[in-house]
Amino acid sequence: MTNRPEKFVFTNHSFDAATGTLLLDYSYPGVCDFSETVIFGPSKHKLSGAEQTALANAFRALHLTAGISYYKAYIPEIIEINDGALDDASADFFENLYFNGLGEFAFRNQVKLKNKIKFPRGGKAPTAGNVSPSNKTLVPVGGGKDSLVTVEALRRGKQDITLCAVNRAGPIVACINNSNIEAMFIERKIDRQLLKLNEQGALNGHVPITAIVSLILVIAAIWHGYDGIAFSNERSASEGNTEWEGRIVNHQFSKSLEFENAISGFIKSHIASGIDYFSFLRPLSELHIAKMFATESRYDDVFTSCNKSYRIDDAMVDKRWCCDCPKCRFVFLVLAPFMEKRRLIKIFGKDMLDDASQIDGFRELLGLKGHKPWECVGEILESGAAFNSIAAKPEWAETAVIKAISPEMAGGEERLGKAFDDALTPDKTDNVPARFKGAFNDAIG
């Protein structure tokens, strides 16, 4: 496309209560119109007036959040919102989300966004609604170890939970089935025209998907009568990957503590004051979560953190782990200190530490090459701590990766040993509500 669109418009959003279907409409005037669909299903919950207010606020917030997928195609200078300008707090929230949430996208496409993303201001702040107390909590399940640790901790804590997911990816469905806990599925359909624009040269790349899912679940909570949303983002998610435009770019920005604080505050002030949005695992490192996960074998045959298993790819049929990506390497590495070797190899289908082709990939995780991978992996220091903890163990010492990298890690044993201990000590920074503290404390022992 020779002429890039000059503006992006949030045109309209509408909700069919009979089917629980939300339409989100966007436009590049004269170029392309989009309509995204999110299906929540009919509700048996009778909404109060305060909940209806909250729902309307949440619809608008999701409309503005989900628009990031379409805005990124051309990142025009002008943003318009047909149903009115934003108050300053809302504009600040969305400008921060777009700027930092598109940080990886900007770095990898080598585009500059600083001082470019400006939402129209001057509007009146919405009146926050409320939700009726229910002590019912939605727990999003992603198919990996983290959310499953949350599920089991809340189950043991006798919390009233419903598992949930946006769309029915195979690994997610399998994990939910193995849990034997009630589940809710929400369907999201992006406009396929966006893919056509990408084929024609429109910009493409990473978006803060957890932010989009978060607002979808806020709507689901209000619509179906829940007052809690328990994510499973750990403290490691706050570590960035590299620098661009004078700021640290974080692949996991919408999983970070910074964003959790921002969105939880925004929900209470601009959507519904009675919703608890938080991450149950925030005080924990990935290593600590791996240790907790290793005590539960219920999900060994179904869980996966490999993104390739969520794609339509013939090469991955009936295979949960590609064993050739940063996620596979990291999860294998952090589980190795806590799992019997035979069990770990059975889960992955191979010994990843005895595969010489993975050596450079493990070097990236350990900070010995390049920068932290563009994936949801833990901190470089805790990867080093995990490596150090198994390097001298007979069952791992002679594997190809350990033998190749150990000389490069020499001299740091004391520091990494301390880092391992620190990783198993919960952080004091968290937003876990009081009603979940008992379950959290019991889970970490």
Q: What is the DSSP string of 133-146?
A: ---EEEEE--SSHH
Q: Is the Cβ–Cβ distance between 207 and 252 less than 8 Å?
A: no
The tens digit of pLDDT for each residue in 305-332 reads: 998 765 544 444 457 899 999 999 999 9
The tens digit of pLDDT for each residue in 238-289 reads: 988 899 999 999 999 999 999 999 999 999 999 999 999 999 999 999 999 9
What is residue 262's predicted lDDT score, i.e. its pLDDT? 98
Q: Is the Cβ–Cβ distance between 30 and 18 less than 8 Å?
A: no
Nearest to residue 334, comparing CAs of 295, 402, 390?
390
DSSP secondary structure string, 309-343? GGS--GGGTT-S--SSSHHHHHHHHHHTTTS-HHH
Q: Is the Cβ–Cβ distance between 146 and 113 less than 8 Å?
A: no
Pairing status of strand 242-244 against strand 247-249: antiparallel
Q: What average pLDDT does the chain have?
A: 94
CA 118 to chain centroid, in Å, comes to 25
Coil vs helix vs strand at 107: helix
pLDDT higher than threshold 70 for residue 2 = no
Q: Is the Cβ–Cβ distance between 334 and 360 less than 8 Å?
A: no
Nearest to residue 288, comparing CAs of 382, 364, 377?
382
Side chain identity at residue 212, one-letter code: I
The tens digit of pLDDT for each residue in 392-406 reads: 899 999 999 999 999
Positions of E strands within 110-182 = 136-140, 160-166
* 72's tokens: 């990124």
CA distance 411 to 424: 22
CA 16 to chain centroid, in Å, comes to 28
CATH of domain 7-279: 3.40.50
Question: Can you name the residues that pair with 162 across neighbouring β-strands?
Answer: 138
Half-sphere exposure of 155 (CA within 13 A, CB side): 13
Going from N- to C-terminal start, the domains of the chain cover: 7-279, 319-423
pTM above 0.85, yes or no: yes
| Reported confidence tier of residue 374, pLDDT bands at 50, 70, 90 | confident
CA 62 to chain centroid, in Å, comes to 16
pLDDT higher than threshold 60 for residue 53 = yes
CA distance 261 to 147: 19
Q: Is the Cβ–Cβ distance between 211 and 123 less than 8 Å?
A: no
